[in-house]
Amino acid sequence: MSDNNQDKTAPKGERPKGERIAKVMARAGLCSRRDAERWVEAGRVKVNGKLVTSPALNVTDADAVEVDEKPLPDREVSKLWRYHKPVGLVVSHRDEKFRRSVFEELPDWMPRVVSVGRLDINTEGLLLLTNDGGIARKLELPATGWVRRYRVRVFGSVNEEALAKLKDGVTIDGIRYGAIEATLDRRQGRNAWLTFSITEGKNREIKVICEYLNLQVNRLIRLSYGPFQLGDLREGAVEEISSRVLAEHLGLEGGQAKSSSEKSGFAKRREKTSRPASRGKQARFNNKGNKNKGDNFAKGATKPKKYYPEKSEGETSERPQSRKPTSHKPKGKPSAHRRRDT
């Protein structure tokens, strides 16, 4: 094990062995990397029995790390979840305005997770969650080439020629936006539905581009992120992606079929029950390229069970039975001109 000055004393051009201590702590599920750095500076962390005061330290598996006099938990297996984010939630662990966060709404059985990118408070749809910050940063990079697809409802007059020109990219207020595929799906009065496909994911990219085209966004839904689709995942539901799919798309080692420990469910405010999901119609905004019914997320994934929220007070748990139609047959023998019921 090296001391606190290991990064400074390492030969020039040679990378120190191991990983930063804050990264190791975050992967153990204790806290975020930023919080880990604060804990180190506050004197709460020891390595091999020695107090550490600087986060500029690399550790290996051979080092004994303690936090608050307790051994560091074993590193968790890297996992990824699909989450259907509702409108009205922020994607932040700390919000200065104390608004509701998606992380406060997740089921209790989930570990501490971070999001892959962010969605605005008024944006809904697919949000990927992971317990591995390294995976999150990797998937956020435009270098992956993964397409993020959105369904957009706008107010205003849509110029299809202007939409077609976005494939060459556009510069707005000095910011360059790369190639964008935008198509008009249908008009609905003064509103219109568009589909946007982007690869960069700059801050408020779609809303900025729509404003540039004199269009006002009044609904924004993320349908997919790379190979992962929103599909028919219900609002507020969270579903783990199988390790086999992670191995296929992320190159993680040890990929295998979904185990019984992989779970899905609803957020806290939507308490889960054991009632199985019904097989409904395919999602309205399903990927056009998915021809097989039910192929609504990454190829090779298996559909785990979903859980539905319990009924609130005042609601009946049973469907109201339809009233049988009252028979209005006349008494006695029907006359010849009356048609018999068949």
In this structure, which long-range contacts are made by residues 157-163, counting pairs with CB atoms below 8 Å and at least 24 apart in sequence? Answer: 157/214, 158/184, 158/187, 158/192, 158/194, 158/213, 158/215, 159/213, 160/184, 162/213, 163/194, 163/213
Confirm if 41 and 55 have CB atoms less than 8 A apart.
Answer: yes
3-state SS class at 165: helix
DSSP symbols for 322-341 = PPPPPP-PPSSSPPTTSPPP
Query: CA-to-CA distance for 239 and 129, rounded, in angstroms?
Result: 10
Angstrom distances, CA of residue 171 to CA of 46, 56, 147, 257, 286: 50, 39, 20, 45, 31
- Helix H or strand E segment including 157: none
Length of the chain: 342
Token duo for residue 245 = 């799919």
Rounded Cα–Cα distance for residues 38 and 303 (Å): 40
The answer to whether the CB of 128 falls within 8 A of the CB of 119 is no
The CB-based long-range contact list for 274-283 (8 Å cut-off, 24+ gap) reads: 274/307, 275/307, 275/308, 276/305, 276/306, 277/305, 277/306, 277/307, 277/308, 280/232, 282/232, 283/230, 283/231, 283/232
Neighbouring residues of 289: CB distance < 8 A, sequence distance ≥ 6 = none
Rounded distance between C-alpha atoms, residue 253 and residue 272, angstroms: 32
Which one of 68, 120, 185, 295 is the catalytic residue?
Answer: 120
Q: Assess whether 120 carries a catalytic annotation.
A: yes
Are 246 and 77 in contact by the 8 Å Cβ rule? The answer is no
**Residue 84 gets which letter from DSSP?**
E
Residues labelled catalytic: 120
